[in-house]
């Protein structure tokens, strides 16, 4: 490819991103996919038939002892995952779709990415995610089960089909995908129940569709996939402070991810937001509670990375 056609293919976002990348020590990725398994308790995942996830873990970097925020419930937790700040800052403490409450008051990573010129998309299994869609920040928002008549349908499959179609055609830079079935099964039958274990295997099939779409779109070499969860669970519920509810998986796979690494640095759900922005070359905003999980990526030694107007941990720019 000659240089002119190469430059012609760059978006403003990717050019700005390249400048920021040079400053941040980020390995850089043109595409970041955040996949959240709702109610994805590590101990139940370990018992489930999830060959695709297990392969991504083998080929990538992983910790099964990452933490979500308290309260360990879906909307507050996903808000932290996708804004990089805790509930004390984002104030999303409710957990259902309440149109009168409007959208979250702090910028989401979609807002930050969009401002830097990147394309964004969300594919979700629960309507309450609309609270995270600030005007003009998400190019494509699909609530998979909208209009669904059969409640027994595997929602993860519907969400994955929509996401895969969109990925193939539009190759979004920042893409969030939410698989809800294990949470639904957990509330109905219990965490670790045979029905929930089946739901995890259905999530694995949905995950396969996403990986296939990334490969078919020709963007695998430039993509990082982060797979995580919003909370665990116990009995038929969650929301508490115990490890059963608070521990979540955090898996990174793709460009520059260390192969077969067990991540030993503590990982919090806010770190997902910081890692996504860092990979895209978007400065991590001041006041973020999250920090990029730099140890998961080649060429990275520690967590010290520049943020807008300062550093993430005040220790300087030593990469
Ligand atoms: Zn949830």
SS3 readout for 166-217:
HHHHHCCCEEEEEECHHHHHHHHHCCCCHHHHHHHHHHHHHHHHHHHHHHHC
Distance from Cα 118 to the centre of ligand 1, integer Å: 27
Ion ligand 1: residues, CB < 5 A: 38, 74, 183, 230
Average pLDDT estimate for 104-118: 98
Distance from Cα 130 to the centre of ligand 1, integer Å: 15
CATH architecture of the domain covering 25-309: 3-Layer(aba) Sandwich (3.40)
Distance from Cα 181 to the centre of ligand 1, integer Å: 10
Which pLDDT band holds residue 21 (cuts at 50, 70, 90)?
low
**SS3 state of residue 313:** coil
Looking at residue 11, its pLDDT comes to 54
Q: Which residues are registered as beta bridge partners of 142?
A: 123
Domain extents in the chain: 25-309
Distance from Cα 319 to the centre of ligand 1, integer Å: 35
Distance from Cα 112 to the centre of ligand 1, integer Å: 24
Distance from Cα 120 to the centre of ligand 1, integer Å: 22
- Report the predicted TM-score, pTM, of the whole model to 2 decimal places: 0.89
Each residue's pLDDT tens digit, 49-103: 999 999 999 999 999 999 999 999 999 999 999 999 999 999 999 999 999 999 9
Distance from Cα 22 to the centre of ligand 1, integer Å: 36
Average pLDDT estimate for 38-55: 98
């Amino acid at each position: 490819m000659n240089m002119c056609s190469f430059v012609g293919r760059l978006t403003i976002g990717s050019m700005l991103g390249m400048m920021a990348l040079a400053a941040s020590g980020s390995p850089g990725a043109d595409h970041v996919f955040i996949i959240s398994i709702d109610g994805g308790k590590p101990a139940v995942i370990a018992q489930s038939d999830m060959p695709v996830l297990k392969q991504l873990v083998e080929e990538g970097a992983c910790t099964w002892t990452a933490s979500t925020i308290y309260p360990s419930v879906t909307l507050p937790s996903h808000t932290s995952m996708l804004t990089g700040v805790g509930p004390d800052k984002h104030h999303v403490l409710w957990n259902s779709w309440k149109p009168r409450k409007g959208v979250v008051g702090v910028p989401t990573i979609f807002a930050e990415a969009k401002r830097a010129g990147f394309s964004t998309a969300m594919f979700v299994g629960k309507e309450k995610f609309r609270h995270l869609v600030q005007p003009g920040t998400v190019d494509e928002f699909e609530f998979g089960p909208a209009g669904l008549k059969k409640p027994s349908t595997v929602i993860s499959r519907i969400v994955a089909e929509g996401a895969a179609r969109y990925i193939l055609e539009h190759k979004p830079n920042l893409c969030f995908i939410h698989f809800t079935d294990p949470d639904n099964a957990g509330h109905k039958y219990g965490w670790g129940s045979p029905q929930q274990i089946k739901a995890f295997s259905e999530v694995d099939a949905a995950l396969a569709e996403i990986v296939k779409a990334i490969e078919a779109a020709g963007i695998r070499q430039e993509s990082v996939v982060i797979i995580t969860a919003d909370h665990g669970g116990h009995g038929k519920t969650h929301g508490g402070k115990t490890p059963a509810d608070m521990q979540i998986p955090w898996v990174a796979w793709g460009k520059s991810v260390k192969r077969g690494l067990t991540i030993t640095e503590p990982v919090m759900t806010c770190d997902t937001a910081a890692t996504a922005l860092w990979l895209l070359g978007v400065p991590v905003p001041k006041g973020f509670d999250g920090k990029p999980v730099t140890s998961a990526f080649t060429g990275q030694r520690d967590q010290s990375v520049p943020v807008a107007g300062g550093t993430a941990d005040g220790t300087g720019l030593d990469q």
